[in-house]
């Protein structure tokens, strides 16, 4: 398995954020990014929400850094670590706009972008942005096809029921010929879509048992059996809700046990968080995990 970070500070939710993150900013983010890059972690993440309704703050949290700006900041501070959107809400964007935005970032970062996308679930935000929530599914699938046709191509062409383009130049475009697309979600449908349209499945807020159950059902799907025949690898990418302080022996044991469970269900990549008191405490744990825990699972690197 390979191990990346669910980046602290850039998203604050009651279930996962630590107190010090509320007042932290660019200086701390640079320290985290530089340390993760130096230690060989696989990726850093950033999520997308434009605006959260006040009624949803208790569950969703209020802070969501813009992923394009944030990952650009990380790209300038690092040299190896991958830059993952976890996730961009695809229905909020035209596929060519995403191809241009993240293609530029891919070029500037030397080919380190992984584009995580999702269908979206916050109906009030859809209404705020003037996007049809009820009709998002078909447009999302067409957008995925269009996005794949556009990424990495200077003169992309696509024709589908929702998106059509040709005879336009997109310059710069992604330097990766096949920029990975990971699909978020938390349902069997999201896994089916990932197998059909993407290069990985990156669900959220599912326990290891719930993921294992979904994967067990998927093993009878033709698309699941064909995933090893794909020209590009298909990644199972998970974000454990469990958070440990690995500066303690108890925390290292708990983390090791949890990672073993993910390994047994076939995880390829994990996005981790660590329970921390300060930025210095978090950096200490990044060192400890990389030296004492990750080698047990042949991680954390690319």
User: Using CA atoms, how far apart are residues 216 and 224, in angstroms rounded to an integer?
Assistant: 10
Q: Among 268, 18, 181, 299, which Cα is nearest to 7's?
A: 18
Tokens of 150: 């556009």
Confidence (pLDDT) at 14: 82
Confidence (pLDDT) at 302: 44
User: Using CA atoms, how far apart are residues 276 and 278, in angstroms rounded to an integer?
Assistant: 6
CA 300 from centre of chain: 16
SS3 196: helix
User: Using CA atoms, how far apart are residues 17 and 10, in angstroms rounded to an integer?
Assistant: 10
Each residue's pLDDT tens digit in the chain (302 positions)? 999 999 999 999 988 999 999 999 999 999 999 999 999 999 999 999 999 999 999 989 999 999 999 999 999 999 999 999 999 999 999 999 999 999 999 999 999 999 999 999 999 999 999 999 999 999 999 999 999 999 999 999 999 999 999 999 999 999 999 999 999 999 999 999 999 999 999 999 999 999 999 999 999 999 999 988 888 999 999 999 999 999 999 999 999 999 999 999 999 999 999 999 999 999 999 999 999 999 999 866 54
Q: CB-based contacts of 206: which residues, under 8 Å, 6+ apart?
A: 186, 214, 238
Confidence (pLDDT) at 104: 98
Q: CB-based contacts of 84: which residues, under 8 Å, 6+ apart?
A: 4, 43, 44, 45, 46, 113, 114, 116, 182, 271
- Mean residue pLDDT of the chain comes to 96
Domain at 2-297, CATH from 3.20.20.30, 3.30.70.20, 3.40.50.620, 3.40.190.10: 3.20.20.30
């Amino acid at each position: 398995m390979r191990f990346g970070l669910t980046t602290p500070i850039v998203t604050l939710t009651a279930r996962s954020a630590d107190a010090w993150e509320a007042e932290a900013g660019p200086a701390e983010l640079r320290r985290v990014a530089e340390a993760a890059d130096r230690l060989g972690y696989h990726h850093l993440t950033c999520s997308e929400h434009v605006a959260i309704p006040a009624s949803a703050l208790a569950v969703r949290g209020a802070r969501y850094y813009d992923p394009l700006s944030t990952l650009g900041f990380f790209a300038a501070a690092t040299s190896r670590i991958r830059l993952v959107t976890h996730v961009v809400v695809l229905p909020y964007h035209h596929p060519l706009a995403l191809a241009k935005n993240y293609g530029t970032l891919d070029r500037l970062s030397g080919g380190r972008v992984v584009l995580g996308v999702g269908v979206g679930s916050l109906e009030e935000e859809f209404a705020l942005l003037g996007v049809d929530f009820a009709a998002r599914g078909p447009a999302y699938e067409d957008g995925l096809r269009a996005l794949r046709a556009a990424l990495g191509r200077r003169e992309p062409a696509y024709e589908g029921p929702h998106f059509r383009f040709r005879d336009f130049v997109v310059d710069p475009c992604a330097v990766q010929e096949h920029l990975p697309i990971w699909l978020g979600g938390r349902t069997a449908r999201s896994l089916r879509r990932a197998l059909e349209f993407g290069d990985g499945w990156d669900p959220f807020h599912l326990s290891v048992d719930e993921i294992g159950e979904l994967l067990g059902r998927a093993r009878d799907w033709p698309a699941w059996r064909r995933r090893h025949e794909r020209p590009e690898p298909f990644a199972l990418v998970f974000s454990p809700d469990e958070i440990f302080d690995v500066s303690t022996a108890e925390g290292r044991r708990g983390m090791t046990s949890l990672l073993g469970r993910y390994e047994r269900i076939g995880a390829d990549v994990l996005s981790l968080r660590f329970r921390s008191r300060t930025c210095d405490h978090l950096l200490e744990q990044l060192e400890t995990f990389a030296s004492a825990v990750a080698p047990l699972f042949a991680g954390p690197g690319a």
